[in-house]
Amino acid sequence: MSLNHVTLVGRVGGDPDVKYFESGSVVCNLRLAVNRMRRDDPPDWFSLELWGKQAEVAANYVRKGSLIGVSGSLKFDYWSDRTTGIRRSKPVVRVDRLELLGSKRDNEAPMSNSGYDDEF
């Protein structure tokens, strides 16, 4: 048995990079900063890749600073460096599920009674 599952919650580091293809497919790439348990540690940065409906949701609703949760699988992108010809790679999380958890502005504003108390 093998398992490849990633779950992350963090803030988006820049606006979505969205590409539409002639075939009708859409892909969205994001960078996600995830804080460590210790406040003085720098965040870990992850590259995210979203396809289809998830990509469209990210394109329409996610902006720099947005708080999101994602789950998916880890893959590696490979390429050859143009100047040196050395084979390079980077880990990418292929997102299967995107959760919009709020925005940076929402978290900076004082908490108000928004009716969510009844749900918990």
DSSP secondary structure, the chain, as one string? -----EEEEEEESS--EEEE-TTS-EEEEEEEEE--SSTTSPPEEEEEEEEHHHHHHHHHH--TT-EEEEEEEEEEEEEE-TTT--EEEEEEEEEEEEEEEE-HHHHHSPP---SGGGG-
Which domains can be identified in the chain, with CATH numbers? 6-105 (2.40.50.140)
- Say what the pLDDT of residue 1 is: 79
Averaged pLDDT, 50-58: 95
**Which tens digit of pLDDT belongs to each residue from 73-95?**
999 999 998 889 899 999 999 99
116, pLDDT greater than 50: no
